[in-house]
Structures are given as C-alpha cells and as structure tokens.
Structure 1
C-alpha cells in the first residue's frame, strides 16, 4: 500500500507504512535536520510538526501520517526569511552543540501556537525536549524572544 502526504509543502509517497517517519525523512528524503536521539520518543530531538502539532517522529509510523502535512526544520524558512523562532534562536545564541535544537525549535513553534506569551513556568512545563548541554537558560531567552518576534510577525501580517 502507498501512503501519500506532504513534507514541507511537497507531495510524497511512501511504501513502507511501519517505517518510523524519522527514518523516512532522513534516509528517503535526505532531510537530515531532524535528529535521532533516543528512538523511544523521550528526548525530542526528532520533533517535527504534523498538521501543525509537534510530534516525535521516531515513534510515528509513516502510515499514521497518510494524508497529513509534515513540516521539518528545512521547511520553516520561506522566501529566504527565517521563521521567527529560528531568528530568535540566532539572536539569543541558544544552541551550544546544536544537536537538539531543531527539535527544540519545532516544539517551541507548537508551544507558541497555543500559548503566545508563555510564562517561565509554562515553558518549563510544556517544553520537555532534552538538552544534553544544559542550555536551558538560553532556551528560555530564545522562547521569550520567539514569542515577541512571532507576535510582531502576526501583527505585520494583519496590517498587510
């Protein structure tokens, strides 16, 4: 059986329904920004957006995304413009080694979708991606800056 879905606005088809989405992205689509961390959905390094919701791709079989829209880190920038969360990460110098950061960025996008101005407590409760380097203080600054930039981008879009 073939499974059809979009990845970063591109229609794709997959044959192996039980293959984890992470491996389809990395091995079949050559989208290596999504990282393998634990393989059991605990660390969050593999987080992507599925229909706009942050999802751990290492435990998501391809068949479960049939008909869905998948967004990876490679699909965030549009027309040469970084996504506000990516821009915030640069401005606040969030990453240290950077391995977990694509998952952190995708999880932050999901957080800001429902909580546009999160408190520190909300960030700590809702972002449960693991950072081995312990850059949580910079991550907190990045989320706050991302909230500001996302709000500004939304307001600019409303005025246009």
Structure 2
C-alpha cells in the first residue's frame, strides 16, 4: 500500500499526454508561462503595495485603479498556473523571489505617484512583450487554449497601460 506522502506528492505528467502538442513544445511553453506567472505576481505585489502607499492629488484614482489591477492580476495567476498544469507540468513556486521585486519601504517613501505609475507601466510592458512572444509561439504550435489565454491577458495589460499612461500624461 502506498504511503500518504507518496500519494499526495505532486507529479508532472508531461510524458502521459497525447493532445497533439509535442512534449518539447509543452516543456518550452511551461517555462514561458512560468516566467509570465512570475511577472504577473510581480505586478500583483507592486500594484498592491502602491495601492496602500500612494499619496498626493492622484491618490483616489490610483488607489482605485491599482485595487482593480491587483484583483485582476491575482485571478490571472491562477489561470496561468492552471494552464501550466494542463499542459503537463508542475506550476512553479517562486514565492521566495518576491523579496527581489517588492519595493522596499525606503524606496516607496521616495516615490511620487508618478514614479509608481511609471514603474507599473514598465512592468506591464515587460508582461506584454513576454505574452506576445509566447502567444505567437502558441499560435504556431496550434495551441489554441494557450494562445487564447494569452490574448485575454494581453487585453487586460494593454488596457492597464492605456489607463496608467492617461493618468501621467502631461
């Protein structure tokens, strides 16, 4: 009889899938989606921290916008991680990396609302570039589900960029 620990141990099932997507493609896409997931977490955390700490005349609009964003981004992390699982790989655990991209209290104390928005713009653009590249690869591989998921995520990020840029436009 198998022990409880061995039964509960998560396991990838990449070699057991026969869905029309090659193992090599799925492995490479799982890596790409894992990076996108890390970028999404980064934006979730920054958006939440900026939500709490923004001050000045842009406070209300940024406070509300960043709340909308971090809620949407948090939901997206589940969608992305579940896609990694669906293509046969374990969802990555990169929570320990959060300290590397979370703004520190000292850094936040010196940021203006405009600085925060520009930082978020930078990170959203990074996410868009990665998603666009992965989406193109997914399309070429006829991975319609991943391509569609990334298209939906791109729609969110491009709208977020439009709104953030509008806030800091001069």
Task: Tell me: higher relative CO, structure 1 or 2? Use CA pairs within 8 A at least 6 residues apart.
Answer: 2
The question of a shared fold, defined as TM-score above 0.5 by the shorter chain, is answered with no
TM-score, length basis structure 2: 0.29
TM-score, length basis structure 1: 0.30
| Higher CA-based Rg | 2
Return the structure number with greater helix share. Answer: 2
